[in-house]
Chain A
């Protein structure tokens, strides 16, 4: 609004990455290391499954946030959007974690395939189970070479695009029409790459934890989660930078826009969560329902699933819906912080179950940490899924042909009513998880601030700058 900003705002400012902030971030990373060590030694079950789940969840989560920052810039660039000009550098700097995120995911996959941990053991079972016709296509997709190659491609593409975004928007004069047109090409290229890689990486790294289960909108679902977390992160960082005296021109109108995105993406996330859940609940195919039955029968996961729904849906719906809440720095800051935690919990539901919970049932203890134990645990749960699905007699034929004898014993014993006590599951959001999350947050923020401090906080040579400074979000 023109009348409010008559004085020339200070646009030519650089973020100073102070020593004290560095110390705080190093402290967070230290806490993360401590958490990793704790989790590694306290929970050696299932080849340190909990440790690797922690690493996977955090790397995946922060890579997603990072990529979404770049996506937000690309999408606005393609749509002639000027609303994000003042926070564009922040969004691009979020992308700094994508420089390493893909490589970290690659490390997790390769160590898994080398047998260091059990995260992807179920996939390997499928790979070795040539008798099972049903998984023929998954043989092709989870062919080890193809799988690793995909991860290499994502890692390289993300790093290259993240670097290019920083360079391009930081150094080139966007007011030059030629450069502006180039920026559209770059943005379009990113959107295509992002759409494909983001879907694929969600299948590769998270959905493959339980290869029997699949959800056709899982890529979208993850995208929505990233979106919520990335907008929340952007809001928190803008509030932080403003509290340090930077970004004088950013006011409640800009926060309001970011808040609307946060709200909208939360609803979008819920839409996808529910679409995924309801179709599988209604379809009642053992492969699909198995995923939910396992979790709902594990008290803690039932709790975290509903907790995630409350934080990520009910809370934004009732709290962020008000205009006042989105324009008040304290209220939107609180909401953003809570949503970042909420979406961590949501990913927890997906990544912490199989690697940690699929321990041998007690009756099967003599198998110890061997691969077969986990597989039979899965089979037991199939049996449970059948018994839970009233009136679906035919479903029983879907049980894997290689069901271990122990599993049948379980089925007979449990009768579908209380066999769940036998499952050993040690995954909770404990102090270790919190420390590791804080550690990765520290790493993420360290990379963020490093990139942010390299150039001016606001891209001065942007054709939409004036428009965005005058931004006024009205209610009419």
Chain B
């Protein structure tokens, strides 16, 4: 992913109470203003609904990762036990499906877990060495931030967003400009 696709100019509103913050989000979205990002120090109940986020597709990916593990385990063991190296184990059939199930289960879990974890990390750009974009350091402490993409807004709209944040109880509204290529 190249940095040039990311906007560099933002308006950041900071709140200090999650209830006020949630109501502010609802009102701001009601006015048709697009919210670029939302940062909170802890998970806020109802935030997904307020932001109108779509359901994550991570678990769908997880299902397919799991199904891959199931298929791989079953087909590999079938190949080994029937074609590659058939052995008579205690009078069991050469294709003893019930004894494959525990391993199949483990492989399903392993694939689903690793697949989902890696997908999550990649999608959220959480790989080592990444320099994150920090809109405000206090979002990990006691501030709830709303980020607006200033590049998409005209000057008049920026002023409107700022005043709207203020009326909705933001304790601070500021511009945030990243240098070209700064952070990811």
Contacts and interface: CB of A to CB of B under 8 A. Distances in A.
Q: What is the size category of the interface that chain B forms with chain A?
A: 20 to 34
Contacts of A474: 45-46, 48-49
B46 A1 contact: yes
A284 B91 contact: yes
B19 A476 contact: no
Nearest to B91: A391
A281 interface: yes
Residue among A2, A281, A474, A476 facing the most chain B CB atoms (10 A cut-off):
A474
A259 to B, nearest CB: 15
A18 interface: no
A321 B62 CA distance: 12
A467 to B, nearest CB: 11
Given A3-B46, A475-B48, A392 B55 contact: no
B32 interface: no
A321 B23 CA distance: 32
B159 to A, nearest CB: 28
Contacts of B56: 475-476
Interface residues of A, number: 20
Nearest to B58: A475
Contacts of B99: 278, 282
Contacts of A3: 22-23, 26, 46, 49-50
Nearest to A389: B91
A322 to B, nearest CB: 9
A390 B93 CA distance: 9
Interface string A311-328: 000000000010100000
Interface in B24-71: 26, 43, 45-46, 48-50, 55-56, 59, 63
A462 to B, nearest CB: 20
A277 interface: yes
Interface in A250-281: 274, 277-278, 281
Contacts of B102: 278
A274 to B, nearest CB: 6
A391 B93 CA distance: 11
A1 B49 contact: yes
Given A284-B91, A391-B90, A277 B49 contact: no
Contact of A277 (B43, B90, B98): B98
B141 interface: no
Contacts of A389: 91
A321 B64 CA distance: 13
A476 B63 CA distance: 16
Nearest to A271: B105
B63 A321 contact: yes
Contacts of A476: 43, 48, 56
A136 B50 CA distance: 67
A470 B22 CA distance: 15
Interface string A455-476: 0000000000000001010111
A2 B55 contact: no
Residue among A3, A277, A389, A391 facing the most chain B CB atoms (10 A cut-off):
A3
Contact of B45 (A284, A390, A391, A472): A472
A472 B59 CA distance: 19
A392 B26 CA distance: 72
B101 interface: yes
B155 interface: no
A392 B88 CA distance: 13
What 6 A-B pairs have minimum CB-CB distances, sorted nearest first?
A391-B91, A390-B91, A1-B46, A278-B98, A472-B45, A281-B98
15 contacts: A1-B46, A2-B19, A2-B22, A2-B46, A3-B26, A3-B50, A278-B99, A278-B102, A282-B98, A282-B99, A391-B90, A474-B49, A475-B55, A475-B59, A476-B56
Interface of A: 1-3, 274, 277-278, 281-282, 284, 321, 323, 389-392, 470, 472, 474-476
Given A2-B46, A277-B98, A474-B46, 11 more contacts: A1-B46, A3-B50, A281-B98, A282-B90, A282-B98, A391-B90, A392-B91, A472-B46, A474-B49, A475-B56, A475-B59
